[in-house]
Amino acid sequence: MKKNTNLRSLAAQLIERVVDKGESLSAILPGAQKNLSDKDGALLQELCFGVMRTLPQLEALIGKLMERPLTGKQRVLHYLIMVGLYQLLYTRVPPHAALAETVAGAEELKRANLKGLLNGVLRQFQRQQETLVAEVDQGTQRYLHPGWLLKRLQTAWPEQWQQIVEANNQRPPMWLRVNRQHHARDAWLALLEATEKHAFAGDAPDALRLEAPTAVGQLPGFEQGWVTVQDLSAQRCALLLEPQDGESILDLCAAPGGKTTHILEIAPQANVLAVDVDEQRLTRVRENLQRLGMQADVRQGDGRTPADWCGEQQFDRILLDAPCSATGVIRRHPDIKWLRRDRDIAELASLQQEILNAVWPRLKRGGTLLYATCSVLPEENHQQISAFLAAHPDAIAEALPQGQDNGWQVFPATDGGDGFFYAKLMKK
Ligand SMILES: C[S@@+](CC[C@H](N)C(=O)[O-])C[C@H]1O[C@@H](n2cnc3c(N)ncnc32)[C@H](O)[C@@H]1O
């Protein structure tokens, strides 16, 4: 590890890249963690994720503490102040250490001249913390969501939006999927409990929620493919698809392959074609298949042009895990709130529609297409499927356990799964 790495300045730089340059935190964080110890890597993650989660509150606090925000080349210091405030408000880092490390971050960022300013702002916050927090928590920033998204949630879900927002602001639970080809869920749970870790069975046959998030290396048999990290709601996709041995199955938009491997755990003799537009992400599909000792045909391709990657082939079942706004997984990727824009929703809905229309002819008669998104917005879900059914008289939506009309909308829940939508379409 590089000596004297200042984690606060590192966090501020990453946050600036997300908020001002539109880069994804999940894409840039691993590179920054590479040269850090596990402990420092975890703290860096906590600081970045924490600031992403609470950004509007921190922004409003800075607005009260400073006359003018730092801009231009000094902008990174604005994010360093956020990192300082976040530690004081939400972490167990002792305040004197939080302050000293944050102020030292200014030096690391070659802005030693601003150390006094940083120190002053953070100390003023300490003195007035209670009053300032009470003041900023009066406004809509207390929901910690961008205005456009809050409005969409309130309009779409007048009864449930608060519950959705609250779940989005939590730290996500870690869900596992036990590989039924190796162990029954209870048998693997016994192996886990022998290591003094605990987990709870979820509302899907192979699902376990860990009491506390754990490094995968500490999970019994992870390297041998006995268990996979996958959210409860994501696990329902392959279950609802009901793949059977011997069938030809298209897993479209497959990367990184969480559902490809689940399909093969349920139906090891199925012939699976996994397709994704992103070649780099397909590497992850191949790695996952290898870890689990499974075979699938993995191809790069655009869902809108199936002839390019499967000729005239038709399938018994298709899983379309469509690209979406990811508004159901905000607790796992809080940067989504600052990366997405209102106008993206219509663009995503039209991409989903194009893929659905293009791939439907590739489903055999009597076949099943499971459409899924990790979105909570009706434009990508119920409305998308209603329009599809209206335009395709040969499609019928099967009733799902807790679904209404044409699909099943799940909201993120604190100890439950992520926000997801499923529609199960049969071809007459
Ligand atoms: C929700 S993620 C898929 C997650 C995956 N099914 C899993 O369970 O691990 C959506 C995927 O859609 C892919 N994608 C986006 N546009 C696409 C397109 N036009 N054709 C095919 N794949 C696309 C993205 O690269 C991304 O990997």
Q: Are residues 353 and 253 in the same domain?
A: yes
- Give the mutation target among 239, 261, 277 for probing the ligand 1 site: most ligand atoms within 8 A of CB: 277
Q: Select from 91, 101, 88 the least CA-distant residue to 127.
A: 88
Closest atom of ligand 1 to CA, residue 254 = 6
Q: Is residue 16 part of a domain?
A: yes
**Distance between CA atoms of 140 and 16, rounded to whole angstroms?**
23
Distance 126 CA to ligand 1 centre (A): 45
H/E segment holding residue 186? helix 185-193
Q: Is 321 in the pocket of ligand 1 (CB under 6 A)?
A: yes
Retrieve residue 353's tokens.
Answer: 């529609």
Phi, psi of 160 (to 5 degrees): -110, -5
ipTM of the complex: 0.99
Average of per-residue pLDDT across 249-261:
98
Average of per-residue pLDDT across 53-63:
97
**Distance between CA atoms of 25 and 15, rounded to whole angstroms?**
8
Q: Are residues 368 and 265 in the same domain?
A: yes
Retrieve residue 88's tokens.
Answer: 């004081």
Q: Grade residue 3 by pLDDT with cuts at 50, 70 and 90.
A: low
Q: Is residue 164 part of a domain?
A: no
Q: Is residue 167 part of a domain?
A: no
Query: Which of 144, 165, 198 is the last residue before a domain boundary?
Result: 144
User: Residue 356 contacts by C-beta under 8 Å, 6 or more apart in sequence?
Assistant: 320, 322, 371, 384, 388
Q: Grade residue 1 by pLDDT with cuts at 50, 70 and 90.
A: very low
Binding-site residues from annotation for S-adenosyl-L-methionine: 253-259, 276, 302, 321
Percentage of residues in the chain having pLDDT higher than 70: 99
Q: Are residues 306 and 327 in the same domain?
A: yes
Q: Identify whether the C-beta of residue 228 lies closer than 8 Å to the C-beta of residue 287.
A: no
Distance 237 CA to ligand 1 centre (A): 14
Q: Is 354 in the pocket of ligand 1 (CB under 6 A)?
A: no
Distance 254 CA to ligand 1 centre (A): 6
Q: Is residue 78 part of a domain?
A: yes
Tokens 């992403």 locate to 52
Q: Are residues 273 and 391 in the same domain?
A: yes
Query: Which of 230, 253, 276 is the last residue before a domain boundary?
Result: 230
Phi, psi of 229 (to 5 degrees): -80, 120
CATH number at residue 349: 3.40.50.150
CATH number at residue 214: 3.30.70.1170
DSSP string, 108-140: HTT-GGGHHHHHHHHHHHHHHHHHHHHHHTTSG
Q: Is 277 in the pocket of ligand 1 (CB under 6 A)?
A: yes
Query: Which of 214, 230, 246 is the last residue before a domain boundary?
Result: 230
CATH number at residue 111: 1.10.940.10
Q: Is 306 in the pocket of ligand 1 (CB under 6 A)?
A: no
**Tens digits of per-residue pLDDT, 282-338?**
999 999 999 999 999 999 999 999 999 999 999 999 999 999 999 999 999 999 999
Residue 2 has pLDDT above 70, yes or no: no
Output 282-285 pairs: Cβ under 8 A, ≥24 positions apart.
Answer: 282/254, 282/255, 284/255, 284/256, 284/257, 285/254, 285/255, 285/256, 285/257, 285/260
Q: Grade residue 175 by pLDDT with cuts at 50, 70 and 90.
A: very high
DSSP string, 347-378: HHHHHHHHHHHHHGGGEEEEEEEEEEES---G
Distance 250 CA to ligand 1 centre (A): 13
Q: Are residues 293 and 396 in the same domain?
A: yes
Averaged pLDDT score across all residues of the chain: 96
Distance 253 CA to ligand 1 centre (A): 3
Closest atom of ligand 1 to CA, residue 304 = 19
Ligand 1, atom 13: closest residue by C-alpha: 253
Q: Are residues 94 and 218 in the same domain?
A: no
Ligand 1, atom 25: closest residue by C-alpha: 278
Q: Is 320 in the pocket of ligand 1 (CB under 6 A)?
A: no
Q: Are residues 33 and 135 in the same domain?
A: yes
Closest atom of ligand 1 to CA, residue 251 = 6
Question: By three-state DSSP, how is residue 415 classified?
Answer: coil
Q: Is residue 157 part of a domain?
A: no
Q: Identify whether the C-beta of residue 247 lies closer than 8 Å to the C-beta of residue 220.
A: no
Q: Identify whether the C-beta of residue 175 lies closer than 8 Å to the C-beta of residue 232.
A: yes
The domain in which residue 104 lies consists of: 7-144
Q: Identify whether the C-beta of residue 377 lies closer than 8 Å to the C-beta of residue 385.
A: no
**Distance between CA atoms of 342 and 358, rounded to whole angstroms?**
26
Residues known to be catalytic = 374
Closest atom of ligand 1 to CA, residue 262 = 8
Q: Are residues 12 and 48 in the same domain?
A: yes
DSSP label at 218?
A: G
Q: Is 302 in the pocket of ligand 1 (CB under 6 A)?
A: yes
Distance 251 CA to ligand 1 centre (A): 10
Tokens 């002053």 locate to 120
Tokens 């076949």 locate to 367
**Tens digits of per-residue pLDDT, 346-362?**
999 999 999 999 999 99
* Tally of structural domains, the chain: 3
**Tens digits of per-residue pLDDT, 7-45?**
999 999 999 999 999 999 999 999 999 999 989 999 999
The whole-number pLDDT of residue 405 equals 74
User: Residue 348 contacts by C-beta under 8 Å, 6 or more apart in sequence?
Assistant: 323, 324, 325, 380
